């Protein structure tokens, strides 16, 4: 989900809390004066404090009349079913636990609440989460980084690197991941540093969780575990900003880091985290506590889906699970105070082939932004509108999104093979 969506959800929850507090003050006929009691309640309420700090991004009016030009043909979708994974391997801090079958145990480093998830696709993908060591300049020791490793790791020319949205985890890909594997792709779902289920406890002494730190971690993950092969970056929501940021900072990596980009309702033209970056540290922690709250997460899930029947308590629990990891709050505050992603002026520097996918009923990022991507990306291969879909098409329309990714990846791989064959012929001549 986009950071701006959470900011609006924070504002909504803060206003509700403020109204409740003020009503209680007016009804209290005894004790302190109204002003004194209001000050007391203000000091005891982080929600009201956040409201006073003005955490309220301007609400963008959804442009329902925005036109789309679909120049990437969607045809022949394979409605692959989500099948249970036959094997999962989980790496904890000091060892590896391997188990098979539908009833396999969850990795020991996941929060215990993972056992309470109801959606079978989420449970099966959670069983496959493992930690891989990633050496960076952010800590003296490798960061044990959570991810989903494909069954055919290292066997394709163009692997797929799946990012997730703001303050989320690789479980976002629960309905798409196996479809990609069944389609012959090599998908790696990686958790962005500071989110997901990596080991970021204080004992690891990770120096930063800023945008620069997240970029360094993602780059080193690609280099060390994907072998430096050209990869298709897929970024939903804020993950789109992360993909753009990585692409423009490492365009000349060996073999070229991004073979291409798929941007799903991507946040790139809303800069940073807004007023959240300027909060005093104690208020930042209050804001982070609110981000973890069931009330805010429920509100965010309702905004994310067009089909409100999907906005279940279980969907909220899947999206909130990583917030229960140790030291999640410290990493979140560090990111917020760093200012967040600022990539709007760099979209035009993305030279790689790109595909833009957008839910027609996105309530968080307005529809016209898809056309802006098409206008500013130098090699945009198309804008695909998914009718009747909200902000998270990879969750709400997984079969369509999986097929789009598979088709685009195949197209990029074929282009690279033709280029390699052409270069070979020139060399022989």
Kindly list the catalytic residues.
237, 362, 391
Q: How many Å apart are CA 21 and CA 380, to the nearest integer?
A: 50
DSSP annotation of 252 reads: T
Distance, CA of 397 to chain centre? 16
Q: How many Å apart are CA 16 and CA 42, to the nearest integer?
A: 14
Instruction: Map tokens 């009330």 to a residue.
Output: 295
Helix (H) or strand (E) holding 188: strand 187-190
75-96 CB burial, b ≥16 within 10 A, e <16 = eeeeebebeebeebbbbeeeee
Say which residues have a Cβ less than 8 Å from residue 149's Cβ, sequence separation at least 6: 89, 128, 130, 132, 188
| Strand pairing class (187-190; 143-148) | antiparallel
- What is the per-residue DSSP string for 327-380? THHHHHHHHHHHT----GGGGGG--S-EEEEEETT-SSS-THHHHHHHHH-TTE
Could you list the beta-strand ranges (E) of 9-95.
Answer: 87-91
Q: What are phi and psi of 297, to 5 degrees?
A: -60, -40
Question: What residues are paired with 264 via a beta bridge?
Answer: 236, 357
Q: How many Å apart are CA 233 and CA 132, to the nearest integer?
A: 19
109-115's contacts with Cβ under 8 Å and 24+ in sequence apart are 109/146, 109/197, 109/199, 110/197, 110/321, 111/321, 111/322, 111/324, 111/325, 113/317, 113/321, 113/324, 114/321
**Cα-based distances in Å from 208 to 139, 204, 261, 335:** 9, 11, 26, 8
Coarse DSSP helix, strand, coil percentages of the chain, rounded to the nearest 5 percent: 45, 15, 40
């Amino acid at each position: 989900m986009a950071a701006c969506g959470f900011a609006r959800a924070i504002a909504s929850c803060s206003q509700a809390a403020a109204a409740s507090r003020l009503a209680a003050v007016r009804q209290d006929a005894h004790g302190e004066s109204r002003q004194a009691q209001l000050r007391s309640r203000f000091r005891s309420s982080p929600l009201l404090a956040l409201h006073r700090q003005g955490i309220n991004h301007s609400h963008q009016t959804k442009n329902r009349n925005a036109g789309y030009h679909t120049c990437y043909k969607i045809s022949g979708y394979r409605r692959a079913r989500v099948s249970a994974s036959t094997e999962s391997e989980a790496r904890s801090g000091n060892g590896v636990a391997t188990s098979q079958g539908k009833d396999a145990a969850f990795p020991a480093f996941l929060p215990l609440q993972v056992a309470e998830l109801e959606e079978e696709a989420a449970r099966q993908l959670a069983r496959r989460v493992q930690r891989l060591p990633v050496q960076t300049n952010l800590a003296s020791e490798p960061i044990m980084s959570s991810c989903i490793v494909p069954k055919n790791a290292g066997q394709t020319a163009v692997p797929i690197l799946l990012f997730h949205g703001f303050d989320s985890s690789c479980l976002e890909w629960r309905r798409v991941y196996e479809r990609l594997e069944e389609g012959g792709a090599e998908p790696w779902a990686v958790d962005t540093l500071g989110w997901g289920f990596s080991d970021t406890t204080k004992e690891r002494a990770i120096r930063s969780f800023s945008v620069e730190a997240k970029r360094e971690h993602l780059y080193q993950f690609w280099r060390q575990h994907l072998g430096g092969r050209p990869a298709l970056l897929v970024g939903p929501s804020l993950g789109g900003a992360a993909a753009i940021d990585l692409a423009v900072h490492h365009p000349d990596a060996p073999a070229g880091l991004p073979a291409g980009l798929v941007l799903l309702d991507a946040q790139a033209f809303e800069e940073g985290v807004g007023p959240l970056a300027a909060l005093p540290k104690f208020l930042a922690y209050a804001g982070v506590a609110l981000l973890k709250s069931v009330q805010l997460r429920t509100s965010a899930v309702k905004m994310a889906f067009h089909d409100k029947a999907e906005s279940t308590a279980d969907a909220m629990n899947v999206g909130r699970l990583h917030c229960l990891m140790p030291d999640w709050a410290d990493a979140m505050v560090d990111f917020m105070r760093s200012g967040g992603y600022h990539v709007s002026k760099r979209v035009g520097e993305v030279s790689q082939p790109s595909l833009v996918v957008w839910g027609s009923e996105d309530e968080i990022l307005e529809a016209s932004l898809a056309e802006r991507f098409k206008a500013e990306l130098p090699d945009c291969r198309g804008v695909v509108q998914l009718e009747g879909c909200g902000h998270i098409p990879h969750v709400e329309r997984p079969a369509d999104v999986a097929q789009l990714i598979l088709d685009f990846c195949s197209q990029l791989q074929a282009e690279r093979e033709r280029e390699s064959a052409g270069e070979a012929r020139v060399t022989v001549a």
